[in-house]
Amino acid sequence: MRASACGTKKPNMLTDVFVAPFVDYEFMRRALVGSLALALSGAPLGVFLILRRMSLAGDALSHAVLPGAAIGYLVAGLSLPAMTFGGLVAGLVVALATGAASRFTTLREDASLAAFYLVSLALGVTLVSLKGSSVDLLHVLFGSVFGLDDSALLMLAGVSTLTLALLAVFYRALVMDTLDPLFLRQTSPLGEFVPFLFLGLVVLNLVAGFQALGTLMAVGLIMLPAAAARLWTHELSAALSLAAGVAALCVYFGLVFSNETGAPTGPAIILAAGLCYFVSLIFGRAGGVLRLKRPRRHLEG
Amino acid sequence: MAAAPGPIRLVNLTLGYDRRPAVHHLEGEIAPGAGLAVCGPNGAGKSTLLKALAGLLAPLGGRIDRASAAARDVAYLPQLVEVDRSFPINVRDFVAMGAMRRLGLFGRLDAGERARTAEALDRVGLVGMEDRPIDTLSGGQMQRVLFARLIVQDQRVILLDEPFGAIDEATTQDLLALIDQWRAEGRTVVAVLHELDLARRAFPETLLLAREPIAWGETRATLCGENLARARAMSEAYDRLARECLRDEEAEHAH
């Protein structure tokens, strides 16, 4: 009896796990589309964050989004537009204040950022705890990819499209600002604004991601695939597309894993990305441990 | 190259950070086609002066008068340390950045600009290195790359901040030859130099700066022992109780 059941089931095992959930359930399709949109635009931003040595700034900004989302939640309940708008405002305020503080005071950018985001995070936790429950707080922090309605999907797709379009248009500016900011500022009147544009895009992606993955997990989908991609190639254009591809795969396998085991989706996706990162750390062709420890025979000249 | 500009006039120029003057009441004129070396001890305000000439620093007092060219229409070589050399970009793309003023942030890099880049790499002796990432270059090679970018910028006025720091003799020779070519083409070259010998070798005019201008004129006369001793005597000490400088008001009363 058992054997025959196995016999009929076996040919379909792979499709059962990897395809069927997305065919059978609309919420799985929505989760996939929404997080794919975030993966495609967030990961290239992550590559630039790494190149600008701002890996932790993304993390800090993701915390900074919290009080805005909390205020939106307190005003309008679990309403996506209100929480998004609040998060966006809070994130942009912290990003702008950080940029301004590092320019006009003697404090360095990392110190200003730490100060602003810590205050922001404390404010957010206070607001949520005063009015809501800890369950609400968990929801904001870790998100729920299975709760994506039409408006959430439209927003994720819109943010993703806008981000990729702006990255394409301002690609040269962003590269120059990372490589030689002084040269850009000296030769172009737009030079001053490029860092703000970039931080704005990061905040936008974090905010778009918090409904799906939560504020803390969204930054993982931005940073981990980017860090993994950097370990495979020295070419910037290749790293950008590779990061987006890796992020997309992590989203897919994270969702499959979550569906199979019942693990929460946000952490499942980030764990998949973490796995990619650790594999790259060991095997990466451009800076992985094995390549550095056992280099190939040196060239003639 | 743009139409020949007039001189750059420094009118009672005071530059600094946080009200502290790094260059104090500097007066003078950089003629078109001049080859000016800026010398002086550490902390004398040499780099600060170049930053101001490049339009990156607003004066605390006085002004910089330019006949035609805007501050952005100068080519400026900052000290090497300000470029992020770990960035994944190859030599060709880096040098092509010099086309910025002509193409802007969005213009297409056409065949003409590509040819310009190739020619510049040829002039600094880097043919064959086009595809090397910049983090694989030696210090001297990187300096050649930066000079190639200056060539592509093709500006009338060229500002060089310590172009020969930590560079070997052969590279220094090649780059000095390039500066001579620029001067022959009628460009203005202003260079901050640490080694007085280089100023004597390649620059007819020198400004000796020690926060206050010590001397400005023909190189050999400017770099005489007496002037150098005065420059060395400049105190780098930072006077915490420094009072406001009233020199401008006093000058007005005297008139």
- The pLDDT tens digits for A53-100 are 888 888 888 888 888 888 887 787 767 778 888 888 988 888 888 777
Closest partner CB to A178 (pick from B87, B94, B106) = B87
B70 touches chain A (CB under 8 A): no
pTM of the model: 0.86
| Distance, CA of A37 to CA of A244 (rounded, Å) | 10
Average pLDDT of the residues in A134-160: 76
> Quick one: what percent of chain A has pLDDT higher than 90?
34
Contacts of B106 in chain A (CB under 8 A): 169, 172
Indicate if the pLDDT at residue A271 is higher than 60.
yes
The C-alpha of A175 sits at a distance from chain B's nearest C-alpha, in angstroms, of 9
Residue A31 contacts residue A23 (beta carbons within 8 Å) = no
A179 touches chain B (CB under 8 A): yes
- B35-39 vs B212-218, strand pairing mode: unpaired
Contacts of B75 in chain A (CB under 8 A): none
- Mean pLDDT estimate for chain B: 86
Indicate if the pLDDT at residue A224 is higher than 70.
yes
| Distance, CA of B205 to CA of B28 (rounded, Å) | 12
B80 touches chain A (CB under 8 A): no
Would the CB atoms of B106 and A185 count as touching at under 8 Å? Answer: no
Return the minimum-mean-pLDDT range out of A13-17, A271-275, B180-184, B189-193.
A13-17
For residue A80, what pLDDT is reported?
73
Return the minimum-mean-pLDDT range out of A23-32, A70-79, A266-275.
A70-79
Compare all CA atoms of chain A with the CA of B72 and give the residue at the minimum distance: A187
Measured at the CA of A126, the angle between CA A123 and CA A127, to 5 degrees, comes to: 85
Contacts of B90 in chain A (CB under 8 A): none
Q: Which of residues 97-156 of A touch B (CB under 8 A)?
A: none
B56 touches chain A (CB under 8 A): yes
Average pLDDT of the residues in A119-127: 84
| Distance, CA of A246 to CA of A250 (rounded, Å) | 6
Indicate if the pLDDT at residue A7 is higher than 50.
no
In the block, residue with structure tokens 């890996």: A55
| Distance, CA of A66 to CA of A72 (rounded, Å) | 10
Domains and CATH numbers, chain A: 20-219 (1.10.3470.10)
Indicate if the pLDDT at residue A5 is higher than 50.
no
| Distance, CA of B165 to CA of B48 (rounded, Å) | 17
Helix (H, G, I), strand (E, B) or coil at B9: strand
What Å distances lie between residue A52 and A101, A171, A176, B56, B80, CA to CA? Answer: 18, 14, 11, 21, 18
Going by C-beta distance under 8 Å and a sequence separation of 6 or more, which residues neighbour residue A71? A86, A90, A127
Closest partner CB to B89 (pick from A170, A179, A189) = A179
Average pLDDT of the residues in A119-138: 75
Contacts of B100 in chain A (CB under 8 A): 176, 183-184, 187-188
For residue A46, what pLDDT is reported?
96
Would the CB atoms of B88 and A235 count as touching at under 8 Å? Answer: yes
A51 touches chain B (CB under 8 A): yes
Topology annotation, domain B1-33+40-73+195-255: Rossmann fold (3.40.50)
Residues in chain A, total: 301
Would the CB atoms of B97 and A180 count as touching at under 8 Å? Answer: yes
**Quick one: angle between helices A55-64 and A194-213, nearest 10?**
60
Give the count of beta carbons closer than 10 Å to the beta carbon of residue A243: 31
Give A5 or B49, the one with higher predicted confidence.
Answer: B49
Contacts of A166 in chain B (CB under 8 A): none
The C-alpha of B90 sits at a distance from chain A's nearest C-alpha, in angstroms, of 9
Average pLDDT of the residues in B191-198: 91
For residue B78, what pLDDT is reported?
85
